[in-house]
Amino acid sequence: MPSYGLYFVAYEAVCAALAPFTSLPPWGVPLLGGAAAGALSWLPVYPADVVKTAMQVDGNHIGIV
């Protein structure tokens, strides 16, 4: 849930920062804003996701199928 909050804050910040660049196509600002926000929202949860995936692949943990 906190990653969604970070996503929307980052999206608005990146879009506001790119708004003055009128050389971008109309779809460029939302595209770059969404890409940056997506990367930033995964940043805090990525280490836990790597551990979870390693545990799932290993299969030697009790209680994890």
pLDDT, one tens digit for every residue, the chain (65 residues) = 677 888 899 999 999 998 888 788 889 899 999 999 999 888 888 888 898 888 888 776 655 55
Check residue 4 and give its pLDDT.
Answer: 82
Separation of alpha carbons 55 and 27, rounded Å: 40
Check residue 49 and give its pLDDT.
Answer: 87
Check residue 63 and give its pLDDT.
Answer: 57
Check residue 8 and give its pLDDT.
Answer: 92
Residue type, 50: V
Phi-psi region of 59 (alpha: psi -120 to 50; beta: other; left: phi over 0): left
40: closest CA among 17, 14, 1, 21? 14
Check residue 60 and give its pLDDT.
Answer: 67
